[in-house]
Every structure is written in structure tokens, then in C-alpha cells.
């Protein structure tokens, strides 16, 4: 079913800051809504694609992994692969980010999933059988991430050399973000078995960066660098370029003006109601940012170590936006988040909307 949604573009001055603040028509692709790919999802959170173009989606509160057939009709193209065991949903916790990779020497893709258990946040690994149509045996590979009803982080990202990036939140205790002995308020980097990855800033430690409040977006640019979106408290939401061993300042500072001790964000949104950035995706070195409170999609072109002024796109009455990913065909898939207890559900929510960037 093809739908038509009114698109309007808004260039925001004074509220959203990039470095440098330069706008060029060539750097901001035009977005168009193609159709609703899936509907009727319950608290969808994570998104990952399979080689055949289908997608897997995690549902935070049900603990279920669903598969979306992009060629099917929304409402009838969603199947359930299975339920992830050990998920204890509470507040912002539950079944959160997912990522898919095929290890070297294997023909079987593997699903990684970040979940909240009774005692902690953790990461599990599950083989995808029958061409990604069935879940295999679940194995826990990383444990001990502090949990709370909010600020659980949860995004996963496949990196180079069979590494996995894990975004964590401060679990409601801001001081943990600066605590070197805590896994909270960090971005971690491990191998596919959950061990600290080779080349990490501190040998034997999974910590890649620290000083984060609540990271829910991770993506790689064309140079293989990791970018992360981060929720602010009062002053500013952030888009950061992660530097190995970097400290991003929370809770000592928020937004820019961090001096030499901490690393400044590349883009900030102020006030935080402007965005509340969750998932991000990068295509052709443009960062696409799904925002929750802002209920819009942001574009942030990047060049080298700089980010241009953020520009927002209104994709119609979609509501809160949780995740975004680049599909194998180059389209952008955006997941709404109106059934998460903080939104205003629309008919057939939650949905996945497919966009094209030209």
C-alpha cells in the first residue's frame, strides 16, 4: 500500500548548532516517504537487516524478535521469530538494541541482542537458522552493565574486525559515567564472544569511551569512525564523534564549552525538547537522527571532523521516532515509538516508514 505524506523541511536557526554552521543544498539530500513497510508493532526498539533485504525488529516490552518482509503488505508481512529469554521489561528497560553479522568462516548469521534482565543489562548471541527465519540457542556473552528503570542505553553496532560496540546509560547515577570501574555511562567495544576487543584504549578493558549520560544511537561513517547520539538532561542533546579513550564530560558538563579535559560534541540540540535523539544512521556521510520528543528526523552532513548545521524533516504525523537504519537497497527505515508509554499512539502504531534520500 502506497501512502502519501506531506513533507515539509524546516531549517532551525539558533536552536540547533553545528560546526561550522554552513548550509548547502548539495549537502542535504531531499527525503521522500515511499510507504509504511510494517504496522501493528508493540514498543519496537532495535532494527537490523539480513542479506536478503528483510529486517529484524526487537520489541522492548514483549521480548520478541519479529521479521519484516519488505516486499509484503504492511500488516501481513510481519512474522515472529521467537522470544529472547531472560528479558525483564521495566520503564526504559527490556529488549533493546540488536545487530546482525556473519562471523568469518561461517555461513550462519548471528543475532546480537541487548536486554535488561532481573539483575543487569547484558548482551546475548543467537544464531539465525533457516536463512534467518528461526532463532537458535541463546548464549550470554556479556553481563554486569548496571540497570535502572531509565538510562539503560542499549544500542549495538557491528564494527571492523568482528567487534561489537555496546552503548550503555548511566543507570540513573550520573557519577558512574566518570567511574572507571563501572560499565555504566560508557561505550564498550568487545569481540563477538564478549571479550575486550584487541586495540582498546586500556588492554583487558571493554571501555572504549566514557562520560556519557545515555547513548541510544551508534553508526559508522565512510572512514569507519563511530558517531553517537546522546540524551542531555537540561542544556543540550549531543551528537559525538567517538575517539578511543575519549571522555565526553557527563555529569561534569553538558553540551559545549568542555575545555581541554573533555571532548566537545560536534552538534548540539538545545533545548533538549528539540530532539531527544535516539537511533542514528549514516548514509553518504550524512547522519540521520531519529528524535523522540522532537518527533522529527534530523540530517547532519559531516565532513572530516566537522558537522554542518542540523536540519529537520517533518515526515508527517509519525510521532516519536526511535530507530533508523539503512536497508540493503539504500532506503532508510524509520521506526516510530508511540506505544512506549510516553507517546500518543496513532492508528496501526507502531510503524516502520520507508524513506528515500536523493
In a domain, 123, yes or no: yes
Residue 2 forms part of a structural domain: no
Concatenated DSSP letters of 249-277: -TTT--SS--TTTSPPPSEEESSGGG--E
- Whether the CB-CB separation of 226 and 220 falls below 8 Å is answered with yes
The domain spanning residue 186 has which CATH number?
Answer: 2.120.10.30
Residue 188 lies in a domain: yes
Residues 69, 288, 248, CA angle at the centre, nearest 5°?
A: 125
**Count of the separate structural domains present in the chain:** 1
64: β partners? 83
Q: Are 298 and 277 in contact (CB under 8 A)?
A: yes
At 84-94, the pLDDT tens digits run 999 999 999 99
Q: Give CA–CA dist 229/288, Å, rounded.
A: 10
> Distance between CA atoms of 182 and 170, rounded to whole angstroms?
9
**193 in a domain, yes or no?**
yes
- Alpha-carbon distance of 234 to 254, in angstroms, equals 8
- How does pLDDT run across 31-47, given as a tens digit for each residue? 999 999 999 999 999 99
Structural domain for 150, as ranges: 8-357
User: Is pLDDT at 14 greater than 50 in this prediction?
Assistant: no
* pLDDT for residue 18: 46
Strand 267-269 to 16-17 pairing: antiparallel
Q: What is the mean pLDDT of residues 214-230?
A: 98
Q: What pLDDT shows up at residue 258? A: 63
221 vs 231: CA distance, rounded Å:
21
The sheet carrying 163-167 orders its strands as: 156-159, 163-167, 187-191, 207-209
User: Is residue 276 a part of any domain in this protein?
Assistant: yes
Q: Is residue 71 part of a domain?
A: yes
Report the pLDDT value the prediction gives residue 145, as an integer from 0 to 100. Answer: 99
Tell me the whole-structure pTM to 2 decimals: 0.93
Cα 139 to Cα 121: distance, rounded to the nearest angstrom: 14
Q: What's the whole-number mean pLDDT along residues 9-36?
A: 58
Residue 6 pLDDT greater than 80, yes or no: no
Instruction: Answer yes or no: is 333 within a domain.
Output: yes
141-193 residue pLDDT tens: 999 999 999 999 999 999 999 999 999 999 999 999 999 999 999 999 999 99
On whether residue 3 sits in a domain, the answer given is no
Interval 293-332: pLDDT, tens = 999 999 999 999 999 999 999 899 999 999 999 999 999 9
Separation of alpha carbons 117 and 235, rounded Å = 32
Closest by CA to 238, choosing from 17, 10, 29, is 17
Amino acid at each position: 500500500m502506497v501512502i502519501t505524506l506531506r513533507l515539509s523541511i524546516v531549517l532551525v536557526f539558533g536552536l540547533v548548532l553545528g560546526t561550522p554552521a554552513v548550509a548547502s543544498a548539495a549537502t542535504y539530500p531531499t527525503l521522500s516517504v515511499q510507504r509504511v513497510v510494517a504496522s501493528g508493532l508493540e514498543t519496537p526498539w532495535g532494527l537490523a537487516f539480513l542479506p536478503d533485504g528483510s529486517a529484524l525488529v526487537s520489541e522492548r516490552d514483549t521480548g520478541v524478535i519479529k521479521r519484516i518482509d519488505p516486499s509484503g503488505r504492511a500488516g501481513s508481512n510481519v512474522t515472529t521469530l521467537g522470544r529472547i529469554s531472560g528479558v525483564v521489561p521495566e520503564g526504559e528497560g527490556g529488549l533493546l538494541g540488536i545487530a546482525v553479522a556473519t562471523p568469518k568462516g561461517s555461513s550462519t548469521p548471528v543475532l546480537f541482542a541487548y536486554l535488561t534482565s532481573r539483575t543487569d543489562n547484558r548482551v546475548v548471541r543467537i544464531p539465525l537458522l533457516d536463512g534467518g527465519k528461526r532463532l537458535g540457542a541463546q548464549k550470554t556473552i556479556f553481563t554486569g552493565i548496571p540497570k535502572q528503570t531509565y538510562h539503560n542505553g542499549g544500542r549495538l553496532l557491528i564494527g571492523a574486525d568482528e567487534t561489537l560496540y555496546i552503548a550503555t546509560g548511566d543507570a540513573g547515577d550520573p557519577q558512574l559515567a566518570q567511574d572507571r570501574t563501572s560499565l555504566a555511562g560508557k561505550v564498550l567495544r568487545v569481540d563477538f564472544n564478549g571479550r575486550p576487543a584487541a586495540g582498546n584504549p586500556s588492554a583487558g578493558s571493554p571501555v572504549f569511551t566514557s562520560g556519557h549520560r545515555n547513548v541510544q544511537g551508534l553508526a559508522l561513517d565512510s572512514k569507519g569512525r563511530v558517531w553517537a547520539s546522546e540524551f542531555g538532561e537540561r542544556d543540550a542533546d549531543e551528537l559525538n564523534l567517538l575517539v578511543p579513550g575519549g571522555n565526553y564530560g557527563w555529569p561534569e558538563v553538558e553540551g559545549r564549552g568542555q575545555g581541554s579535559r573533555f571532548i566537545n560534541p560536534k552538534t548540539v540540540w538545545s533545548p533538549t525538547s528539540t530532539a531527544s535523539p535516539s537511533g542514528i544512521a549514516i548514509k553518504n556521510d550524512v547522519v540521520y537522527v531519529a528524535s523522540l520528543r522532537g518527533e522529527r528526523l534530523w540530517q547532519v552532513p559531516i565532513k572530516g571532523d566537522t558537522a554542518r548545521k542540523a536540519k529537520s524533516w517533518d515526515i508527517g504525523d509519525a510521532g516519536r521516532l526511535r530507530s533508523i537504519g539503512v536497508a540493503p537497497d539504500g532506503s532508510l527505515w524509520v521506526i516510530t515509538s508511540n506505544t512506549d508509554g510516553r507517546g500518543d499512539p496513532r492508528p496501526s502504531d507502531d510503524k516502520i516508514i520507508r524513506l528515500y534520500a536523493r
